Amino acid sequence: MAAAALAACDSGANRLRITSADGTLERLSVRYAEARTAEERRDGLRTRPPLQPDEGLVLVFPLEGEVCIHNVGVAYGIDVVFVASDDRVVGQPVPLAAEEAEAACRAPVDRVVEVRAGVAATVRAGDRVLGGP
């Protein structure tokens, strides 16, 4: 299952971009794999090869609400970008250290974008998400 998801990411077919709220600045652009089922979201990055700087994992939730993310079982740091159903970034991205057990939570959220630590450093609250699920 992880190999199939990674192959989708590697194909370059799925690309997600985050721009400034007014659309004039591109803040982030990554190829991504999706985690849509409860099992895929629970496994997250733990069952996948380490993300490269141009890759991300998008966790898609069935309902918008509060979402909490930790980094237990992942041997490297990540940036977590919370996204609302209107395709806007909710709050500042949260850096989580390798193996971080303390969860970062935001609401209202229906998607989360996980990228390698530092990749989302320029992303801001209110930025627009384009091209993702």
Q: Is the CATH number 1.10.1040.10 carried by domain 2-130?
A: no
Residues 6+ apart with CB under 8 A from 9: 31, 32, 33, 55, 57
What confidence score (pLDDT) does residue 11 get? 47
Q: What is the predicted pLDDT for the residue at 50?
A: 96
pLDDT at 13: 63
**pLDDT, block means (10 residues), the chain with 133 residues:** 41 84 98 98 96 98 98 98 99 98 98 98 99 93
Between β-strands 55-69 and 104-116, what pairing exists: parallel, antiparallel or unpaired?
A: antiparallel
Question: pLDDT value at position 5?
Answer: 42
Q: What is the pLDDT of residue 2?
A: 37
